[in-house]
Amino acid sequence: QVQLVESGGGLVQAGGSLRLSCAASGRTFSSYAMGWFRQAPGKGREFVAAIRGSGRSTYYADSVKGRFTISRENAKNSVYLQMNSLQPEDTAVYYCAATSRTYLLSRTNYDYWGQGTQVTVSS
């Protein structure tokens, strides 16, 4: 079992930055790939970014590539999402998730989810 707790959301103006954190429980954190997803009002939960257990490989949605950076610190059981150049369309609840599966871009492949943190970008 893995428990995930996100933090770092908030209200920011367009062009600003936020850093989301996700703290995981358990002693086998490095064996899980981690992902960030987001869900805007009235929309489905969409993939944002993912990172392998080793941290060597990362993946991004086209909409955030070049603006967001995912990273992890296995010694701290944590994964991060640095978000720069935020735009109003980035407004959503952001979730971190953990998986032991190979394909990381689909939310259905993730077994464990956090409760989410709200990110609001004003224009």
Question: What pLDDT, on the 0 to 100 scale, is given for residue 54?
Answer: 95
Please report, for residues 16, 101, 102, the alpha-carbon distance to residue 13 in angstroms, rounded to integers and kept in the order given.
6, 36, 36
Strand ordering across the sheet containing 78-83: 4-7, 18-24, 78-83, 68-73
Quote the CA–CA distance of 15 and 37 in Å, as a whole number: 20
pLDDT of residue 103: 93
Instruction: Report the distance separating Cα 54 and Cα 66, nearest Å.
Output: 21
- For the segment 6-25, the average pLDDT, to the nearest whole number, is 98
pLDDT digits (tens, 9 = 90+) for 47-63: 999 999 999 999 999 99
Residue 45 neighbours by CB distance under 10 Å: 17
Residue 46 is predicted with a pLDDT of 97
Is the pLDDT confidence value at 1 over 90? Answer: no
Nearest to 39 by CA among 112, 84, 94, 81: 94
